Amino acid sequence: MPDPAAPPTSPVPLTALLARRDLGLRLLAGPAAEESAVHWVHTSEMADPYPYLLGGELLLTAGVQLSDPDRYVERIVAAGGAALGFGVAPVYDTVPAPLAEACDRHGLPLVEVPPGTPFTAVARAVWGLMAEARHHELRRVSGAQQGLAAAAARPDPVPAVLRQLATRLDGRTVLFAPDGTALRAAGREPGPEVSSALAAMTRVVRPGSGRPAPASATDTAGSGHLAAYSVAGSEGLVLGVATSHREPGDHTIAGVAVVLLSLLTAPQQGADEAARSSALVRLLLGAEPADVAPLLGEGPWTVVHAHGEGTPPQLGSPLVDVRADTVRILLPAGHEVTGHPGWTLGVSSATTPRDLAAADAQAGRALRRAEATRTPLVRHGGTGIAALLDPEEAAAHARTLLATLGPEGPLHETLRNWLALHGSWDRTAVALGVHRNTVRQRIARCAALLGADLDDMDVRAELWFALRWTEGQAGSHHSADR
């Protein structure tokens, strides 16, 4: 079985769950709790839970059909389960010794859930800890962003940004020259193996003769985590980062540093460019967009989104945001926008600096239309869905959006019914003739494959239209698996 895909949630260390005194959980067998993390919770009394697990679960059971403990644990491990929570009472007075032995043998953490702790309380605790982790990460990223912006405003900004980044990520930061030599560095120096591997990674993100290069790359060396970022507009500079561990927000924090270094290391900055750099720094320090808009000039301005391979298009503008998947460009509205070899472009309508957020959304929609219709360049042409896509183009976009769900089948049918019934598990189960837990498993699988938050109404609306556009195109739907 392939390794299960982790869901788009912050994992909860098993140690944090065991530390909750109100739950009274105890680790009875298996590896140390420090080695395990829980991505979600699932309750099942099936004799074989394998078909209902997606990987990363804390599986809760009272052992109603526990006839072969070794086989039971083996199947949980094969499905990628993170841990097993065994509820004492009403079926068993104590955790069965053969089950503990099987967990030790297969390396699965076994947690005792006391009689006074409902399974729903365990699940609620996991969701609460996840919410705390997300809040903590947002605060960490926000604090790092402000610290980097303040460092960029100091008299010697490049070393200050590198020092701030090294402090925020608790690692080593290096600015490499086009020939691979280290120009500036900050933070504690790693071992020779990590330093050598980090220097070698600069070749991955530095464009060669006729060779496209990604904007960033990651790797590991020994016990260290490595990342390299191309500094746009600097003619070959690369930011290298080496850390002993990696957090979910590290890439975002490093991305802010790359933007600042791009501005600080640009070959020249005239009065206009300096004003625009000042606008960016003020935004990063918390200023309102309306307050810094005058620094961009009267406008009007146009936003361009681009996706492709090779050297990113700049279209004659220094205001370029290079990301792993999409390049965003801000340029005066009078500047002619034409196609770029190997790239697909979406262009917004002209707008004032105060309405750039709306123009950014227009460019994104235009790019999606261009990709769906395989057109090199599409300009925003109005409002409303009818103005954006004709039926054939809508169907093409829908197929692209839903491609990760695979061919038309139970996942499409379940998601279509679930959205039509406003997310009701019970009504969807009745409509499909399956158990409500099967509906939950399929919707969770859809969220993991799509990499989307299905609680977001914008996501639900887009998926609903996509499913409606593709309905009937794949022939009759297959009957749902029972």
Q: Is 398-470 assigned to CATH 1.10.3720.10? A: no
Query: Residue 156's pLDDT is what?
Result: 82
The least confident of 73-82, 115-124, 301-310 is 301-310
Q: Answer whether 12-129 and 154-264 agree in fold.
A: no
Query: Residue 5's pLDDT is what?
Result: 44
* Fold of the 12-129 domain: 3.40.1390
Task: In whole angstroms, give the CA distance from residue 455 to residue 422.
Answer: 11
Give the pLDDT band of residue 35 (cuts 50, 70, 90): confident
3-class DSSP string for 415-437: HHHHHHCCCCHHHHHHHHCCCHH
Q: Are 306 and 376 in contact (CB under 8 A)?
A: no
Closest CA to 380 of 416, 409, 351: 351
Helix, coil or strand: residue 471: coil
Examine the pLDDT at 282 and tell me if it is beyond 70: no
Q: What is the mean pLDDT of residues 217-238?
A: 82
Q: Are 244 and 226 in contact (CB under 8 A)?
A: no
Task: In whole angstroms, give the CA distance from residue 482 to residue 468.
Answer: 24
Q: Which tokens hold the place of 79?
A: 């499905």
Which tops the pLDDT comparison, 398 or 266? 398
* Fold of the 154-264 domain: Beta-Lactamase (3.30.450)
Closest CA to 395 of 467, 469, 475, 472: 469
Query: Residue 106's pLDDT is what?
Result: 94
Give the pLDDT band of residue 34 (cuts 50, 70, 90): confident
The least confident of 265-279, 398-412, 415-429, 457-471 is 265-279
Query: Residue 277's pLDDT is what?
Result: 62
Examine the pLDDT at 262 and tell me if it is beyond 90: no
| Burial (CB count <10 Å: 0-12, 13-18, 19+), residue 46 | middle
Q: What is the mean pLDDT of residues 418-435?
A: 86
Q: What is the pLDDT of residues 285-296, one digit of tens each?
A: 666 666 666 666
Q: What is the pLDDT of residues 364-397, one digit of tens each?
A: 888 887 887 788 888 886 545 544 555 566 677 7
Helix (H) or strand (E) holding 221: strand 216-221
Give the pLDDT band of residue 308 (cuts 50, 70, 90): confident
Task: In whole angstroms, give the CA distance from residue 234 to residue 226.
Answer: 21
In the sheet where 301-308 sits, what is the strand order?
320-322, 327-332, 301-308, 343-347, 377-379
Q: What is the pLDDT of residues 430-454, one digit of tens each?
A: 888 889 898 999 999 999 888 888 8
Query: Residue 190's pLDDT is what?
Result: 84
Distances (CA, A) of 221 to 168, 195, 227, 405: 21, 9, 11, 34
Q: Are 62 and 96 in contact (CB under 8 A)?
A: no
Query: Residue 293's pLDDT is what?
Result: 66
Examine the pLDDT at 220 and tell me if it is beyond 80: yes
Sign of CA dihedral 443, 448, 451, 456: positive
Helix axes 410-420, 436-450, angle to 10 degrees: 100
Considering the chain, what is the average pLDDT of its residues? 82
| Burial (CB count <10 Å: 0-12, 13-18, 19+), residue 63 | middle
Q: Which tokens hold the place of 104?
A: 């030790």
The reply to whether omega before 353 is within 30° of 0 (cis) is no
Q: What is the pLDDT of residues 118-155, one digit of tens each?
A: 999 999 999 999 888 888 888 888 888 889 888 888 87
Task: In whole angstroms, give the CA distance from residue 295 to residue 343.
Answer: 30
Examine the pLDDT at 415 and tell me if it is beyond 80: yes
What residue ranges in 50-134 does DSSP mark as E strands? 57-61, 83-87, 110-113
What residue ranges in 5-71 does DSSP mark as E strands? 12-13, 26-29, 37-38, 40-43, 57-61
Domain ranges of the chain: 12-129, 154-264, 298-388, 398-470
- Amino acid sitting at position 131: A
Residue 153 is classified by DSSP as T
Q: Are 50 and 71 in contact (CB under 8 A)?
A: no
